[in-house]
Amino acid sequence: MCGKNDLFCPWYKRNHAAMQWDTRFAARTAYMKRSTIREILKLTARPDVISFAGGLPAPEFFPVERVQEAVDLALSERGQVALQYSTTEGMPELRELIAARLSDARLTISPDNILITTGSQQGLDLIGRVLVDEGDRVVVENPTYLGMLMAWRPYALRYIPAPTDTDGLNVDALEPLLQQKPKLIYVVPNYQNPGGFTLSVERRERLVQLLARYEVPLVEDNPYGELCFSGSPRPSILSIDANNLGISTPDGHVIYVGTFSKVLSPGLRIGYVVATEQVIDKLVQAKQSADLHSSTLDQFITYEVARDGFLDRHIAHLCEVYRERRDVMLAAMERYFPAEVSWSKPDGGLFLLVTAPAQVDTTELLAEAIKRGVAFVPGADFHIDGGGQNTFRLNFSNARPDLVEAGIQRLGDLLKEALAHPVK
Amino acid sequence: MCGKNDLFCPWYKRNHAAMQWDTRFAARTAYMKRSTIREILKLTARPDVISFAGGLPAPEFFPVERVQEAVDLALSERGQVALQYSTTEGMPELRELIAARLSDARLTISPDNILITTGSQQGLDLIGRVLVDEGDRVVVENPTYLGMLMAWRPYALRYIPAPTDTDGLNVDALEPLLQQKPKLIYVVPNYQNPGGFTLSVERRERLVQLLARYEVPLVEDNPYGELCFSGSPRPSILSIDANNLGISTPDGHVIYVGTFSKVLSPGLRIGYVVATEQVIDKLVQAKQSADLHSSTLDQFITYEVARDGFLDRHIAHLCEVYRERRDVMLAAMERYFPAEVSWSKPDGGLFLLVTAPAQVDTTELLAEAIKRGVAFVPGADFHIDGGGQNTFRLNFSNARPDLVEAGIQRLGDLLKEALAHPVK
């Protein structure tokens, strides 16, 4: 027999082979879970499923040749720099370009107000690290963006849901919520994910007055704003807030998060945060410890593609094709969806939200939908008040027009059946 | 006069223009600070300064043409995939390649044991997120790696310094430290930063026995191991631990962190973590919220460059040129440094550590050194026991051989003066 802790005892070896990892994880991991959408996407990867579930840009419009030219230029002229470590803040030329793109007659943004991030997801992650403490209150639109919920989950925040309608966040209902002294407000003002709604300019103006009155910071997450199908983009809350404060710099209440993922390529993972320098300084410290800096080469590519007007022409093209896809989907929905079902009619972006009568549970519906070869994202997870079980999100940007008709017809049939024979 | 909180009052507007951000930051930001080295590097960017301070690979050896070929292939054959969102775990082909590179006769690593990260800095960040709670004890080599200290700073850990010598971590001194029940042990086993020392195989074997006896996890951070100037690389602690447990899979006590930054390009930000699946699963969840995934294009490039043996030839070349640079530096040090000064003689990697007599304060020395056009990193920050004020780190990989002589001579003069006329 072997003695206790005898490392050369075969029994000891066999029975102490694996660490008991379960008991070793940090307490905050209890709040972590895999993204529901990413798990659904795995199920819908079957080629026979027409999926409206993802949030992907249409890859057939990626400017592959232009990216190739940009890489050629970056590597041939500055290869030793493009492959080397770079500053945490990001490539100076790219920060200048973003500053210029976001500046307007009323607002002057300096490169010092900008931090390049590894996608806008990292922007949200870093903002969480430097601004929220465990258990803080945060006001969010209801429904709200899952990526934010995921990024801030380790902090066990107390979310305060603010109601929304076709004009976005209901600002009238916001003031009583601010009396609960939230640490910050989080808003996706344009073509919201999943709601598809856009915050009206009039509401933006009243919103920034509340920011000033209650001295509460606001995170403006704007991944979709440039995908504007008609008219011109609305001024940012960042800009309206500065104007309300009588200043022409981004030194007010707003931290703005942007990205090239939806207008150029998500695979390059280049996003950015715009804020007053004091906030950028803290975010830089957090980013140093998170990943030192974002890919130097991908920053070079983004800069080269964006710098001479190509990106603006490309965005105009994307708006055109995505608008067509939205129209095809809306027309099919009119034809095939039962009268009791309603949906948002977004004027840009990638998504719309469908609302079925209260008795329909869209999580249950999804299982049947996948069997019939169509997929969506059930709305419950986006709603932080326990509601939304009767809603679901559809993506139109990556839906091939020739398949939309068939997919929407399948969904319409399913909705009609669910209404005729409600499942318990 | 305007009333209180009158938003249209010019006085109110002017005096409430800026948020009081100071009071809004999360408590954990108190532990954050900018990297000392990055701040020193800004000072040493002057062209007349011969800098041994950075930790950069030599950019003149970046395989720019080969990267260009890899991009051409990725974009021409799979452009729509290379620019699209991808999985959090990372490109399957790249994970397979890494698994094969790290597997050996005794250890079989599966792609499921691998997570691709945005540089190895993100590996450290994610490990911190999923494994350490505020105030946990962590055993580290003294001196230790600053990037780890930076990554885990928000957790206000209690570090337990383990002594080191020319054979690395002193394993004999480790056992009493483990009785303090640390959450984990952090080790850079090969060509350590800043020490330049390497953990002997005999010590690795005794170390894994302690891991089994105390059931303590170990993070093996190995960015430099492939830059091996003579002989063949030592087996990883990951492999020796599995062997000790009688298993052939990485399901023991070790989480291994690797990177392509030092052997291919740091600008691409491609690192990886190897661990048992249960740990990888938690890290994947943390990475989803951190940045969704690492750059798809940069993963494609890394895979293409590494897959057909080019990378191994490239690493062999790097070892040759870095060994030459080390030799030039060591020879110059022999010539110009005073006899009272000693230094490590690393058999690989990028760094060596110089130890001056106790009365020399290298932080004070740096100010004078920069005036005379030479720079290094003072050792105090690497030492977590309050010591090391008389040490400093030199980088040889990015030191141009034609300048090393002059730089080391200036440093030698300075050291001689400091010993002759000690500054108070």
Q: What pLDDT shows up at residue B15?
A: 46
pLDDT digits (tens, 9 = 90+) for B122-172: 999 999 999 999 999 999 999 999 999 999 999 999 999 999 999 999 999
3-state secondary structure of B219: strand
Would you tell me how many other CB atoms lie within 10 Å of the CB of residue B53? 25
3-state secondary structure of B378: strand
Smallest Cα distance from A65 to chain B, Å: 8
Q: What are phi and psi of A336, to 5 degrees?
A: -105, -20
Q: What pLDDT shows up at residue A201?
A: 97
Is the CB of residue A302 less than 8 Å away from at least one CB of chain B? no
List the single residue in B with minimal CA-CA distance to A271: B291
CB contact under 8 A, A26 and B245: no
Tell the residue number behind the tokens 């897959």, with chain if given. Answer: B307
Q: What are phi and psi of A405, to 5 degrees?
A: -50, -55
Cβ B320 vs Cβ B291: under 8 Å? no
Q: Buried b / exposed e across A393-412, counting CB within 10 Å, b at 16+?
A: bbbbbbbeeeebbebbbbbb
* Alpha-carbon gap, residue A282 to A154, rounded angstroms: 19
Residue among A269, A270, A287 with most chain B CBs within 10 A, to mutate? A269
Class assignment of domain B30-61+312-419? Answer: alpha beta
Give the percent of chain B with pLDDT over 90.
85
* A-chain residues near B32 (CB < 8 A): 130, 282, 285-286, 289
Residues 345-404 of A with CB under 8 A from B: none
Smallest Cα distance from B269 to chain A, Å: 6
* Alpha-carbon gap, residue A334 to A327, rounded angstroms: 11
For the question of whether the overall pTM of this predicted structure is more than 0.90, the answer is yes
Is the CB of residue A146 less than 8 Å away from at least one CB of chain B? no
Profile chain A (424 residues) by mean pLDDT over runs of 10 residues.
Answer: 50 56 89 72 78 92 97 96 96 98 95 98 98 96 96 94 97 96 97 97 98 96 97 94 96 98 97 97 96 98 95 97 97 98 97 97 93 94 95 93 94 96 60
Q: Indicate the residue type of B16.
A: H
Is the CB of residue A86 less than 8 Å away from at least one CB of chain B? yes
Terminal CA-CA length for chain B: 61
Q: What is the side-by-side strand order in the sheet with A270-274?
A: A114-118, A270-274, A254-259, A218-221, A184-187, A137-141, A158-162
The yes-or-no answer to whether A29-62+313-420 and A64-311 have a common fold is: no
DSSP string, B227-265: -B-SS-PPPPHHHHHHHHTT-SSS-SSEEEEEESTTTT-
Would you tell me how many other CB atoms lie within 10 Å of the CB of residue A226? 23
Would you tell me how many other CB atoms lie within 10 Å of the CB of residue A177? 18
pLDDT digits (tens, 9 = 90+) for B254-289: 999 999 999 999 999 999 999 999 999 999 999 999
Q: How many CA atoms lie within 13 A of A340 on its CB side?
A: 13
pLDDT digits (tens, 9 = 90+) for B408-424: 999 999 999 999 976 54
Would you tell me how many other CB atoms lie within 10 Å of the CB of residue B158? 12
CA angle A355, A358, A359 (to 5 degrees): 120
Both tokens assigned to A378:
């059930």
Is the CB of residue A82 less than 8 Å away from at least one CB of chain B? yes
Least confident of A142-156, B22-36, B195-209, B275-289: B22-36
ipTM: 0.93
Domain A64-311 CATH (choose: 3.40.50.12280, 3.90.1150.10, 3.40.640.10, 3.30.428.10): 3.40.640.10
* B-chain residues near A217 (CB < 8 A): 19, 21, 24
Q: What is the bridge-based pairing of β-strands A218-221 and A254-259?
A: parallel
Residues 158-187 of A with CB under 8 A from B: 183
Both tokens assigned to B88:
């959090």
List the single residue in A with minimal CA-CA distance to B209: A7
* Alpha-carbon gap, residue B268 to B298, rounded angstroms: 6
Read off the DSSP letter of residue A398.
T
List the single residue in B with minimal CA-CA distance to A269: B295
The H-assigned helical ranges of A160-265 are 174-178, 201-214, 237-244
Q: Which of B282, B264, B265 is nearest to B273 (CA)?
A: B282
pLDDT digits (tens, 9 = 90+) for A61-96: 999 999 999 999 999 999 999 999 999 999 999 999
Per-residue pLDDT for B14 more than 50?
no
Would you tell me how many other CB atoms lie within 10 Å of the CB of residue B214? 17
CB contact under 8 A, B7 and A209: yes
Of B67, B80, B279, the CB nearest to A21: B279
pLDDT digits (tens, 9 = 90+) for B354-401: 999 999 999 999 989 999 999 999 999 999 999 999 999 999 999 888
* A-chain residues near B304 (CB < 8 A): none
Terminal CA-CA length for chain A: 60
* Alpha-carbon gap, residue A354 to A376, rounded angstroms: 10
Q: Which of A121, A98, A87 is nearest to A284 (CA)?
A: A87
* B-chain residues near A290 (CB < 8 A): 121-122, 125, 151, 290
Per-residue pLDDT for B197 more than 90?
yes
Q: What pLDDT shows up at residue B85?
A: 95
* Alpha-carbon gap, residue A296 to A300, rounded angstroms: 6
Q: What are phi and psi of B117, to 5 degrees?
A: -125, 165
Cβ B268 vs Cβ B297: under 8 Å? no
Q: What pLDDT shows up at residue B401?
A: 85
Is the CB of residue A71 less than 8 Å away from at least one CB of chain B? yes
User: For the domain bounded by B64-308, which CATH number is listed?
Assistant: 3.40.640.10
Smallest Cα distance from B63 to chain A, Å: 9
Both tokens assigned to A367:
């299982």
Query: A16 to each of A215, A357, B213, B246, B247, how far by Cα in Å?
Result: 56, 56, 9, 10, 11
Range A29-62+313-420: architecture per CATH: Alpha-Beta Complex (3.90)
Looking at every residue in chain B, the average pLDDT score rounds to 93
Would you tell me how many other CB atoms lie within 10 Å of the CB of residue A345? 12
CB contact under 8 A, B131 and A278: no
Is the CB of residue A259 less than 8 Å away from at least one CB of chain B? no
Both tokens assigned to B123:
């590996």
Boundaries of every domain in chain A = 29-62+313-420, 64-311
List the single residue in B with minimal CA-CA distance to A34: B285
Q: What pLDDT shows up at residue B9?
A: 52
Is the CB of residue B267 less than 8 Å away from at least one CB of chain A? yes
